[in-house]
Amino acid sequence: MDIYRYDESLRNKGFKRIAGIDEAGRGPLAGPVVASAVVLPPLKIIGGLRDSKKVPEKERELLFWEVLSCCLDVGVGIVEAEVIDRINILRATKLAMETAVKDLSAEPDLLLIDALTLSSVSIKQISLTKGESVSASIAAASIIAKVVRDRLMQRYHQVYPEYGFERHKGYSTIEHIEKILRHGPCPIHRKSFEKVMSLTLPFRK
């Protein structure tokens, strides 16, 4: 599917300021969930733009700067692990998305959201399953969210180097599981996640 065609069809219906919204970090065992809202200009084509999960890291960095250099507006929302533990990952994801919308410099007239709706936001919105493959705006937001989160995890690696966050970014890899079993959880691990709790049994008092 041509991801630009969908967004243009909506502009042709009168929506001039469309914000695509996506998140990164919903599934990891550690670290924040990050959301981004991106408003792309009409008729702008960014070569290779697609779902961030399908883009190699070096190419993601290039796309990140290309999106930032051409977008009309961008917002970011970050919700840390301690809040995820307190309110659950779904509510934390929606909170990150709501924060990203509020972080925009001007209110959009339409939100395109990957797989979710934001009941607390009064702006008209469309929820799209696999939205990164349908909408260029959502694909752009997925790139921004993913790169921002990866950079945060690289910073956390400087604080907790024993976990290897710069490599697995907090996801449930064999290396990460082995590190939790060896060292126990650190402050950015999501204690409310069942898998984290099962791995930390020997460290509970």
DSSP letter assigned to residue 44: -
Tokens standing for 24? 């990164």
Other Cβ atoms less than 10 A from the Cβ of 103: the count is 16
- pLDDT for the residue 203: 52
- pLDDT for the residue 165: 98
Question: Where exactly are the structural domains of the chain?
Answer: 3-149
Given the DSSP bridges, would you call strands 33-39 and 18-24 parallel, antiparallel or unpaired? antiparallel
Closest to 4 measured CA to CA, from 55, 65, 46, 60: 46
pLDDT in tens, 59-113: 999 999 999 999 999 999 999 999 999 999 999 999 999 999 999 999 999 999 9
Task: Indicate the burial class of 96 (C-beta count within 10 angstroms; 0-12, 13-18, 19 or more).
Answer: buried
pLDDT in tens, 7-26: 999 999 999 999 999 999 99
pTM for the structure as a whole: 0.94
Buried/exposed 50-85: b ≥16 CB within 10 Å, e otherwise: bbbeebeeeebeebbebbeeebbbbbbbbbbbebbb
Closest to 51 measured CA to CA, from 171, 177, 136, 109: 136
Instruction: Give me the CATH topology for the region 3-149.
Output: Nucleotidyltransferase; domain 5 (3.30.420)
- pLDDT for the residue 202: 54
pLDDT in tens, 127-143: 999 999 999 999 999 99
- pLDDT for the residue 1: 54
Closest to 22 measured CA to CA, from 45, 48, 52, 43: 52
85: number of CA atoms within 13 Å, CB side? 16
